[in-house]
Amino acid sequence: MTGATMTNETINAIDRDLQPAMYAKRGLALVRGEGAVLWDADDNEYIDVMSNYGVNIVGHAHPGVTTAIEQQAGLLLNVHQSFSSDVRADFLEALMAIVPEGLTRAWLCNSGAEAIEAALKFAHAITGRPNIVAMQRAYHGRTVAAGQATAPKPGDDAGPGPVTHVPFDDLDALDGAVDDQTSAIIVEPIQGEAGIYPASDGYLAAAAEIAQREGALLIFDEVQTAFRTGEWFCANAEGITPDVLCTAKALANGVPIGATLITNAISEALPNGIHGSTFGGNPLACAAGLATIQAIKDEDLLAKSVVLGDRLRSGIAALESDQIREIRGRGLMTGIDIRGRVTPVLRALQDRGVLALPAGNLTLRMLPPLVISDAQIDQVVETLGASLEAASRRPRRRQSS
Ligand SMILES: Cc1ncc(COP(=O)(O)O)c(C=O)c1O
């Protein structure tokens, strides 16, 4: 039993009537989960290879995370950061023990975009430079303008300035774009929304050298990659310590949280009070974050994600489907380029009990919880084979003339 008192259809209709039409709706109301399985309001069961865009890293209703949230909810939900909190202190110690060496302080917030906002603001404040160099096809979030609308205090300036986008993974283009007006280079070590494109060997290390040479900061956006690619962060695998590392999504297994990790040097150079967040570092998110890190360690999930990811990608390759152009990925982060649009494949997977994600129009993206089993992976592969077949048989919609 779902326990849901309404059907998919009723819940979808309320959503449609009371929210702006901002998302391409999937037509399901999800009401319950356990591990890598989700149920909708009509009690249909799905294998989850999306984890809500990369959030539920240790699976749904994880006992350790659930208990931590329940206990904390009975004690204190909010403690503003002008006060200290025992659970925040515990979480900070656990987090800073797994980040790349040299990153020593965490600014806590509630989402990926907020973590990025802080990083760019810090880079501007420290270097005094206006410009940012980012990558084509990058995704760093969607916030805009709140800071500009906030009335400036004496000494405040207009904040970070223009952004130049260069092709991802192209060192010459990066080298040519960074100069003495650049406050920061911002890069996803594996581009997520673009379709799961890992940077080539050596690219990120060379980007760090360019940043250092020009006096700009290197910001890694690990909002999507954190905890998912076989290491805590891609930076650990690369042996690189960026000046700033942003993370969010998986950090508290679904409770909103974000973190901007910085070095001591950056922390000391930051003017006091230039940034803030009402909910950032709240004990509920910190309790969930602490339990998430603990679960990943206890269940050895980083190592498992490497084996499971290989199983997934080799299984998909073995389908030898002519509907697949390319398979990319690391750990449990996988992109599959489809010949044709991805939406019919997503739909066919959903109809057969698998929830996956798009990345753009042509790439199928899989970001399963790290607790997914071998059997569930195999089931996903088999269902993908059937879904690709079914999607290729669908009559293409006529273009209206
Ligand atoms: C790499 C990356 N950065 C930033 C963000 C923005 O995170 P949020 O949606 O939590 O603001 C995302 C979200 O998908 C992301 O994938």
Residue having the nearest C-alpha atom to atom 13 of ligand 1:
141
| Closest ligand 1 atom to Cα of 256 | 10
- The DSSP secondary-structure symbol of 35 reads B
Cβ–ligand 1 contact at 260 (below 6 Å): no
Contacts of 139 (CB under 8 A, 6+ apart): 188, 191, 192, 193, 194
- Residue 113 Cβ inside 6 Å of ligand 1? The answer reads yes
Q: What does the CA dihedral 222, 228, 233, 239 come to, rounded to 10 degrees? A: -120
Q: Decide whether any atom of ligand 1 lies within 6 Å of the 222 Cβ.
A: no
Q: Which residue has the tokens 């990926």?
A: 112
Distance 219 CA to ligand 1 centre (A): 14
Please tell me the predicted confidence (pLDDT) of residue 395.
65
∠ CA 60-64-68, rounded to 5°: 105
pLDDT of residue 258: 98
Cβ 349 vs Cβ 26: under 8 Å: no
**Residue 46 clears pLDDT 90, i.e. is over it:** yes
Q: Give the C-alpha separation, 299 to 263, whole Å.
A: 30
Q: How far apart are CA 196 and CA 225, in angstroms?
A: 10
Question: Helix or strand or coil: residue 247?
Answer: strand
Report the percentage of the chain scoring pLDDT > 90: 88
Q: What percent of the chain lies above the pLDDT cut of 70?
A: 98
Q: Per-residue pLDDT tens for 116-151? A: 999 999 999 999 999 999 999 999 998 877 777 777
- Stated pTM of the model: 0.96
The closest residue, in CA terms, to atom 8 on ligand 1 is 112
Q: Does ligand 1 come within 6 angstroms of the Cβ of 139? A: yes
Q: Which CATH number fits domain 103-273: 3.40.50.2300, 3.20.20.70, 3.40.640.10, 3.40.570.10?
A: 3.40.640.10
The full set of domain ranges for the chain reads 1-48, 103-273
Closest CA to 366 of 346, 351, 395, 347: 346
Residue 397, pLDDT above cutoff 60 = no
Ligand 1 atom index nearest CA of 143: 11
Q: Are 192 and 53 in contact (CB under 8 A)?
A: no
| Average of per-residue pLDDT values in the chain | 95
Distance 99 CA to ligand 1 centre (A): 19
- Contact, 376 vs 47, CB < 8 A? yes
Integer CA distances (angstroms), 289 to 33, 88, 174, 285, 302, in order: 19, 9, 35, 6, 16
* Beta bridge partner(s), residue 383: none
| Residue 238 CB less than 6 A away from ligand 1 | no
Distance CA 205, CA 199 (A): 10
What secondary structure letter does DSSP report for 190?
A: E
Look-up of token digits 């404040």? 125
CA quadruple 267, 273, 275, 277: dihedral sign: positive
Ligand 1 centroid–CA 394 distance in Å is 33
268-289 mean pLDDT:
95
| Coil vs helix vs strand at 149 | helix
Determine the pLDDT at residue 103.
98
Query: What is the reported pLDDT for 273?
Result: 87
